[in-house]
Amino acid sequence: MPDEEQIDFSALADRAQRMQGAVADAQHDLRTMEATGHSTDGMVTATVSGESRVVDLRIHPSVIDPDDPDGLARLVLQAIDNAHATVDEQRTEVFSGITGGLQGILAGLHGEPSEPAVVPQFSKYRARQ
């Protein structure tokens, strides 16, 4: 009877350990990333953290009109929404790197070629302008 395919648990454990490190790096990057968004007219700028907190808000004095507080509110919301969209894109990039590594680990379980698991390298995200 031919030998059954053997799972290399040592290699699998090594891959899992590298992925654990990659996840820790991703968590750090998510905590430290920031993105900046602008209102459509560029008069309001908001910076949002990877934890979805507004960390900075800049309003050009020319758009502060006491007779139109709703107009200013719209500009602020546009800037915040744009910053959130950028942070969401950055999160997607971080998590896609992690899921690629998980696919490499799972491939090893199914006897697919023993390629090293993808261990994503994360750049520091800081999109301030």
pLDDT tens track for 54-72: 999 999 999 999 999 999 9
Report the pLDDT value the prediction gives residue 101, as an integer from 0 to 100. 62
Least reliable range by pLDDT among 17-26, 51-60, 82-91, 96-105:
96-105
Cα distances (angstroms) measured from residue 127 to each of 16, 26, 92: 31, 17, 15
Report the pLDDT value the prediction gives residue 116, as an integer from 0 to 100. 46
What percent of the chain stands above pLDDT 90?
Answer: 43
pLDDT at 78 > cutoff 60: yes
Report the pLDDT value the prediction gives residue 44, as an integer from 0 to 100. 98
Least reliable range by pLDDT among 22-26, 33-37, 100-104:
100-104
- Walk me through the domains of the chain, giving residue ranges and CATH numbers: 9-127 (3.30.1310.10)
DSSP 3-state assignment of 110? coil
Cβ pair 80, 59 in contact under 8 A? no
The DSSP string of 42-84 is SSEEEEEETTS-EEEEEE-GGG--TT-HHHHHHHHHHHHHHHH
